[in-house]
Structure 1
Amino acid sequence: MMRLYLFAEGQTEQTFADTLIKPYLAQREVFMHYPRLIAHARKKGKVHRGGGRNYAPMRNDILRSLNEDSNRDVFFTTMIDLYAIHPDFPGLAEAESLRQNPIERVEFLEQRFAEDINDYRFIPYIQLHEYEAYLFADPTCFEYLDASRTKEIEALQAIANQYETPELINDGQQTSLSKRIIAQFPDYEKAKPVFGTQLAERIGLQVIRSRCPHFNAWLSRLESLNNYRNNSAETV
């Protein structure tokens, strides 16, 4: 049996991880604690969490948790966005040359993140480019919000069809995944933590994995943590 702590960027990731990932991993004897929002600031001794845009508080939050639970049967991971990633994130300037290859870019940043934390129990995951990539795995899920809005759903499907994977949909300020959804379904913006998970549930974890290879690689690593712990411990 392995234990897992997950640091989520926002409430949407927090709810998604608790609702879909946690029970899935439990079936594989990987037991996730309730996902916690990652720190974005620390003022007067109080940690402020969620939607962080500063790297130092995130880093300190992770390091503090690693120190608080130093057991070898526990791992730590993240769900943070590549979109609008923190300017002081390790390796960000170096990764600029990889901008035309988002998968290589995000893998490079994850590697630098892991190196900076420097603990084999830490498994960084950065979403390409943000949570809504999972919803573009099957845009027909938006029938749940309003089945009569076929033109809006078709517009989202047309966007998804342009890309090999929704993880490659670009991350411009006006063309990010969430902005594209809000343009068709404005109500999504006000209730993202609720709708985001409900829509993902309609799609299903296996479909999301089949359409989002970077997400799938991360989840595959988590579900194999029992083997990973043994292999990693041998190299420490």
Structure 2
Amino acid sequence: MSDYIEVVVIVEGKTEQIFIESVLAPYLANQMIFMRATQVSKPGQKGGDVRFERVRRDLEAHLKQRPDTYVTTFVDYYGLREWPGLDAVTPQARPADIAECLNKATAKLVSELFSAQQAERRFVPFVALHEFEALLFSEPAILARALGVAEPEVAAVVKGCGEPEAINNSPQTAPSKRLNNWSVTGKFAKTTQGISIAQQIGIARMREQCPLFHRWINHFETLVGGQA
């Protein structure tokens, strides 16, 4: 038994790494869950083209380093390419269905590849629906104020889709594209302004509005004190 756990998060890019380290990790540390992020992308490389083979190398490295750590992913569904279960996702699939399809397929493959490292127990897949920016729609008032747009306009997007994680992932209506359209420069600064907005919203509010994100965090919470 252990009263704390350590988690390595393999993330897509710099924004996700900063989010984990400056927003999520401090929140979880209060519950004795110590999380650190490692970026799968090479320095200077843009995100949005995440292939399993790239992540696989990182998974292997971290699963083999220490047997007492957990390893997870934080990658955007919007940018996935050549990923377990991706071909089985239908255009009409709901966010929960997409997540279940991808996470199950990923967990199965990783467990088979790294059975000697107890990947079935230690690996926790997570694909963000549809991308990190969706979390910023958890509180329309804060997002609208930061961007200088009318709150009802932001709220209408969330209401129309049902929840932040259901915001459409098309090239025109993905969360990141909507934020770009609202930005005065035409390019939303997610590594700076995005992180600032996330800090103002807070993890608790994101969990209330984003059930898949909540479920991912809750998995680690259930492990504290119950680790084999």
TM over 0.5: yes
Q: Which residue in 1 is equivalent to 2:87?
A: 93
Say whether 1:77 aligns with 2:75.
no
CA distance in 1, matches of 2:40, 2:87: 23
2:191 to 190, 193, 213: 193
Report if aligned partners of 1:39, 1:49 keep a CA contact under 8 Å in 2. Answer: yes
1:38 to 37, 40, 56: 40
Q: Which residue in 2 is equivalent to 1:233?
A: none
Task: Let me know the Cα RMSD of the aligned residues.
Answer: 2.2
Say whether 1:60 aligns with 2:54.
no
- Equivalent residues in 2 for 1:203-218 (5 A)? 203-218=201-216
Note the residue ranges of structure 2 that are not aligned, 5 or more in a row: 112-118
Q: Which residue in 2 is equivalent to 1:139?
A: 140
CA distance in 2, matches of 1:19, 1:49: 21
Q: Which residue in 2 is equivalent to 1:28?
A: 31
2:97 to 78, 99, 104: 104
What SS does the corresponding residue of 1:105 show, helix, strand or coil?
A: helix
State the 1:190 CA deviation.
Answer: 5.2
From the superposition, tell whether residues 77 and 208 of structure 1 become closer, same or farther in structure 2 (CA, over 3 Å). same
What percent of counterpart residues are identical? 28
The CA deviation string for residues 188-210 of structure 1, in whole angstroms up to 9 with x for no partner, is: 73521111111011112111110
The CA deviation string for residues 144-200 of structure 1, in whole angstroms up to 9 with x for no partner, is: 535xx343x432221112232111111001110110111111447352111111101
Report if aligned partners of 1:5, 1:76 keep a CA contact under 8 Å in 2. Answer: yes
Q: Give the TM-score normalised by structure 1.
A: 0.83
CA distance in 1, matches of 2:94, 2:224: 32
Report if aligned partners of 2:137, 2:143 keep a CA contact under 8 Å in 1. Answer: no
CA distance in 1, matches of 2:51, 2:131: 17
The CA deviation string for residues 49-78 of structure 1, in whole angstroms up to 9 with x for no partner, is: 762422211112111211122x23x10111
From the superposition, tell whether residues 145 and 61 of structure 1 become closer, same or farther in structure 2 (CA, over 3 Å). same
CA distance in 1, matches of 2:39, 2:60: 15
